[in-house]
Amino acid sequence: MSNPLPAASIILEDRYSVGSIFLVKRAKGLKFLGGFHAFPGGKVDPPDGGIANSQDPWDIALVAAVRELFEETGVLLCHDGLNHSIKSTPMLSQIRCDLVEKRTDFATVLRDNKWSLSHSDLYPLGYFETPHFSPIRFKTRFFLAKIPSGQTPEIFEGELENGVWGNASDHLKRWYSDETLISPPVLELLEKFKKSNPLDWRLSSASGLVSTDEFHLERVRFASWIQVVSVACPGPSVPQIGNVFLVGLSKFYLIDPGALDDQGLLAIQTAIQSRVNSGDVFHGILLTHHHPDHSNSAKHFADLWNVPVYAHPATAEKLSGKVQINHLLDDCSQIPLGFNPFTGSNLVLTAYHTPGHAPGHLVFFEARTKTLFAGDLVSTSTTILVSPPDGHLKTYIDSINRMAGFSPELLMSFHGCPSAFGKSVLQNAIYHREKRESALLAALANNFETLETLAQEVYRGLPDPLMKLAQKQILAGLIKLVEEGIVSAPTPGSEEWKLAK
Ligand SMILES: [Zn+2]
């Protein structure tokens, strides 16, 4: 598990329209929440510490917040030598370009222009740590600031796509109607702002907003109807993090509860209990497939809450004697999630049989919002193991292609971060397999012939404990090539795979 990196973010308030705040849309290519809306901000750079008033992490974060805001929006929260705020001018735009393109650095910009940071105009608003769903994690300190008069934010396309002003209710309305994605801590802050008068935000002690304390996400939500609980679950060599989903609103299901330890069980149990306490009904457990990281605690929660477990017949067979499957789901089975009052429409999950990783593998797709719960069809953080005899590469690729045909947008990955660009995630997975196949063919052409030597050649540099898994992937690749007549399988008594003559 990674340690969170220090980061900073600014909630920029409009000077003339009370309560209006600026959200930016993160670009598609970003690994961490690309396509999601957030406040401007980014990682703390080591030189930020050299500019800061002290080495207190809040002072350093303040520098990072001002620098990132300037780079991303052109808004500069500084004063000149006469203590006047800075105005938007062509010169300021040029300095911003030089900074973004690294022709200069922030310390030089401040020194050369005799500018100093407007410390007293920035109010700390607490910090969030990224929950464990993401392999990239941040400890983000938030500041509240008003845009200086004479400045207007302007987004250059790059790390960001665009920016939008609105009060907390406007932003939240779009999110509740599934029109935009918002990163979970930003969502939590918008909910806090909505409840209090914007004029109180910086006065605060009464509304509890100005603070240097940690904020806790009560519920990690990626849509009004999608909540995530990230837990440790069994892994091929060491435990790994898996995302358990609570899907639905007043009626909800749990997808893939694979918790390994008491801490994980407690986290899932707390999430269920909190929903039930607020009047929602827990309807059942959906399993994408039988692997323990997805099914480990299904029986525990089914017994505890007396709810049914749903899975594909092939999964039911694999889990026979371990988990009682009460409802069988086949290709195109529908699971109604009930009415969504925020959009005025019904939410329905459709199960699609997507074998290849496991024989009974299902994904769950919500067609109206184009949301895909991917199970182990693809992952945004790791390569999915296709291990014979359960795994079959050709079938696996067909399953990915089939789901790409649905053009999913939000893809909820069991391992790793959600992605707003589901179709690209699926297409990248295919591309990755094609590259591996080319490497395997090249190794065969170079007379590497056994699983061991082929794996060492194709997965050069992989740590030893993972080599056994790599050999399984190689075997899956070889079986596909044998089926296509490109490779000859070893003759009895031999271990040598060869290109077909
Ligand atoms: Zn699996």
| Pair 279, 172 in one domain | no
Distance 379 CA to ligand 1 centre (A): 11
**Where a domain ends, among 197, 218, 239?**
218
Per-residue pLDDT at 206? 47
| Pair 344, 456 in one domain | no
Distance 307 CA to ligand 1 centre (A): 23
Distance 292 CA to ligand 1 centre (A): 8
CATH number of the domain bearing residue 149: 3.90.79.10
Determine contact, residues 61/68, Cβ cutoff 8 Å. no
Distance 293 CA to ligand 1 centre (A): 7
Distance 166 CA to ligand 1 centre (A): 42
Distance 27 CA to ligand 1 centre (A): 30
| Pair 126, 257 in one domain | no
Distance 218 CA to ligand 1 centre (A): 29
Distance 308 CA to ligand 1 centre (A): 21
Residue 383 CB coordination number (10 Å): 14
Distance 185 CA to ligand 1 centre (A): 29
Determine contact, residues 184/226, Cβ cutoff 8 Å. no
Distance 407 CA to ligand 1 centre (A): 23
> Which helix (H) or strand (E) segment is 223 a member of?
strand 220-223
Split into its structural domains, the chain has a count of 3
Per-residue pLDDT at 134? 78
From the list 116, 175, 167, 123, the residue with the least C-alpha distance to 145 is 123
| Pair 45, 10 in one domain | yes
| Pair 400, 419 in one domain | yes
Per-residue pLDDT at 21? 93
**Where a domain ends, among 218, 247, 262?**
218
Give residue-wise pLDDT tens across range 226-251: 999 999 998 877 788 999 999 999 99
Distance 388 CA to ligand 1 centre (A): 13
Distance 352 CA to ligand 1 centre (A): 16
For each successive 10 residues of the chain (501 residues), what is the average pLDDT?
87 89 89 90 94 93 96 93 86 94 95 90 87 84 90 86 93 95 92 75 54 78 95 84 96 96 95 97 98 96 98 98 97 96 95 97 97 96 90 97 98 93 96 96 94 94 88 95 94 90 77
Distance 394 CA to ligand 1 centre (A): 17
| Pair 458, 490 in one domain | yes
Distance 214 CA to ligand 1 centre (A): 35
Domain housing 474 = 440-499
Per-residue pLDDT at 197? 66
**Where a domain ends, among 200, 218, 236?**
218
Give 471's Cβ-side CA count (13 Å radius): 13
| Pair 424, 445 in one domain | no
What distances in angstroms separate CA 406 from CA 118, 162, 177, 364, 422, one per listed residue? 49, 27, 21, 12, 10
| Pair 184, 51 in one domain | yes
Distance 296 CA to ligand 1 centre (A): 12
Collect residues with CB below 5 Å from ion ligand 1: 291, 376
Distance 358 CA to ligand 1 centre (A): 7
Distance 387 CA to ligand 1 centre (A): 10
CATH number of the domain bearing residue 260: 3.60.15.10
From the list 174, 163, 169, the residue with the least C-alpha distance to 192 is 169
Give residue-wise pLDDT tens across range 420-433: 999 999 999 999 99
CATH number of the domain bearing residue 449: 1.10.10.10
DSSP bridge partners of 223: 226
Task: Give the SS3 label for residue 359.
Answer: coil
Question: Is it true that the peptide bond before 40 is cis, omega within 30 degrees of 0?
Answer: no
Distance 357 CA to ligand 1 centre (A): 7
Distance 74 CA to ligand 1 centre (A): 46
Per-residue pLDDT at 436? 94
Distance 289 CA to ligand 1 centre (A): 7
| Pair 182, 154 in one domain | yes
Determine contact, residues 39/144, Cβ cutoff 8 Å. no
Distance 341 CA to ligand 1 centre (A): 34
| Pair 29, 163 in one domain | yes
Distance 378 CA to ligand 1 centre (A): 10
Distance 432 CA to ligand 1 centre (A): 18
| Pair 205, 57 in one domain | yes
Distance 417 CA to ligand 1 centre (A): 17
Distance 36 CA to ligand 1 centre (A): 27
Determine contact, residues 346/336, Cβ cutoff 8 Å. yes
| Pair 48, 124 in one domain | yes
What distances in angstroms separate CA 360 from CA 230, 288, 308, 363, 425, one per listed residue? 24, 8, 18, 10, 22
What angle do helix axes 298-305 and 262-277 make, rounded to 10 degrees? 40
Distance 376 CA to ligand 1 centre (A): 5
Determine contact, residues 114/96, Cβ cutoff 8 Å. no
Interacting residues of 94 by C-beta distance below 8 A, sequence separation 6+:
none
**Secondary structure of 113-166 in the HEC alphabet?**
HCCEECHHHCEEEEEEECCCCCCCCEEEEEEEEECCCCCCCCCCECCEEEEEEE
Distance 303 CA to ligand 1 centre (A): 23
Per-residue pLDDT at 1? 53
Distance CA 435, CA 445 (A): 15
Interacting residues of 307 by C-beta distance below 8 A, sequence separation 6+:
282, 283, 284, 285, 301
Distance 377 CA to ligand 1 centre (A): 8
Task: Give the SS3 label for residue 376.
Answer: coil
Distance 385 CA to ligand 1 centre (A): 7
Distance 361 CA to ligand 1 centre (A): 8
Distance 235 CA to ligand 1 centre (A): 9
Distance 245 CA to ligand 1 centre (A): 16
From the list 135, 160, 361, the residue with the least C-alpha distance to 241 is 135
Distance CA 285, CA 306 (A): 10
